[in-house]
């Protein structure tokens, strides 16, 4: 596990500026790939944070980063929600919902109140390459996410190799404590472009309750932004 701080508003209202989230770094090590609907932390794929100034970390920050109480002192990281994975086709027309493999996502349970799905930056259709993900912020009108980096080599997608892990819980402040489950719209029938096969390595990780937790779905309704 590693703690990350939220410095921007790009994931409101799911995450607020100043929240500390705990990120599961173990299950990716066992071969698990990011899934649709998960909130993930990932390294800058290149060019996303080129204008972001990162202060030089001091010795204490480097130590806390080493033991997992702070994010990497050397990397520039971001946090977004996975909307589509390798093999998916994702798009969003003005005034319309985001669709994945032709299925409309009901995003009312997690995007910022009053935001549209993508009216500020319609896109697609985008065919997400294998081994990559398409990510968007929950505060759609205040998030420089995959939509805004389509001119870069990854065409807005992020390699799964850049993913640090999944944010699973808001740990601080105490009055904001909450888990971060996957919204049920990502579990609707027919959304999968192809049936996914769980990596065999998860049989080992299955001994950990955390791995079981990360597959649960929502039935009721310092990273960079």
Model confidence at 41: pLDDT above 70: yes
Q: What percent of the chain has pLDDT over 70?
A: 73
Distance, in Å, from the CA atom of 37 to the CA atom of 216, rounded to the nearest integer, reads 11
Whether 86 maps to a domain, the answer reads yes
Average pLDDT for residues 156-170, to the nearest whole number? Answer: 95
- Predicted local confidence at residue 225, as pLDDT: 63
| Residue whose entry in the numeric block shows the structure tokens 């105490």 | 174
Residue 103 lies in a domain: yes
pLDDT, tens only, 182-211: 999 999 998 886 433 334 333 333 333 333
Q: Kindly list the distances between the CA atom of residue 17 and the CA atoms of 112, 176, 209, 215, 222, in Å, as whole numbers in the listed order.
A: 14, 12, 29, 26, 10
Q: Where does residue 66 rank: exposed (0-12), middle (13-18), buried (19+ CB within 10 A)? A: exposed
Residue 75 placed within a domain: yes
Q: Can 116 be counted among the known catalytic residues?
A: no
pLDDT > 90? residue 27: no
Per the CB < 8 A criterion, the answer to whether 165 and 40 are in contact is yes
How high does pLDDT run on average in the chain?
81
What is the domain extent for residue 96? Answer: 2-217
Q: Does a structural domain hold residue 19?
A: yes
Say what the pLDDT of residue 62 is.
62
Assess whether 32 carries a catalytic annotation.
no
Residue range 115-132: mean pLDDT, rounded: 95
Average pLDDT over residues 28-44: 88
Selected catalytic residue, list 8, 65, 72, 80: 80
Helix-strand-coil split of the chain, %, nearest 5:
15, 25, 55
Q: What is the pLDDT of residue 47?
A: 84
* Element containing residue 60 per DSSP (H, E): helix 59-66
Whether 56 is in a domain gets the answer yes
Residue 48 lies in a domain: yes
SS3 for 185?
Answer: helix
Query: Pick the catalytic residue: 10, 65, 72, 146?
Result: 10
Q: Do the domain assignments include residue 224? A: no
CATH of the domain at 77: 2.10.109.10
Question: How many structural domains is the chain composed of?
Answer: 1
Confidence label for 64 from pLDDT (cuts 50, 70 and 90): low
* 130 falls within a domain: yes
């Amino acid at each position: 596990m590693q703690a990350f701080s939220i410095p921007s508003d790009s994931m409101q209202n799911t995450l607020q500026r100043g929240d500390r989230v705990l990120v599961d770094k173990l299950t990716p090590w066992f071969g698990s790939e990011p899934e649709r609907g998960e909130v993930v932390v990932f390294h800058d794929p290149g060019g996303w944070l080129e204008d972001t100034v990162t202060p030089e970390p001091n010795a204490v920050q480097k130590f806390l980063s080493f033991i997992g109480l702070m994010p990497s002192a050397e990397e520039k990281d971001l946090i977004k929600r996975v909307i589509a994975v390798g093999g998916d086709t994702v798009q969003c027309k003005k005034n319309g919902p985001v669709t994945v493999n032709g299925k409309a996502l009901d995003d009312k349970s997690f995007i910022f109140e009053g935001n549209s799905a993508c009216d500020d930056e319609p896109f697609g259709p985008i065919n997400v390459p294998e081994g990559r993900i398409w990510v968007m912020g929950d505060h759609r009108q205040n998030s420089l996410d995959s939509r805004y980096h389509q001119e870069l080599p990854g065409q807005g997608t992020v390699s799964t190799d850049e993913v640090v892990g999944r944010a699973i819980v808001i740990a601080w402040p105490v009055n904001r404590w909450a888990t971060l489950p996957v919204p049920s719209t990502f579990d609707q029938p027919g959304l999968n472009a192809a049936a996914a096969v769980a990596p065999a390595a998860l049989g080992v990780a299955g001994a950990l309750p955390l791995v079981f937790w990360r597959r649960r779905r929502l039935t009721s309704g310092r990273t960079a932004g």
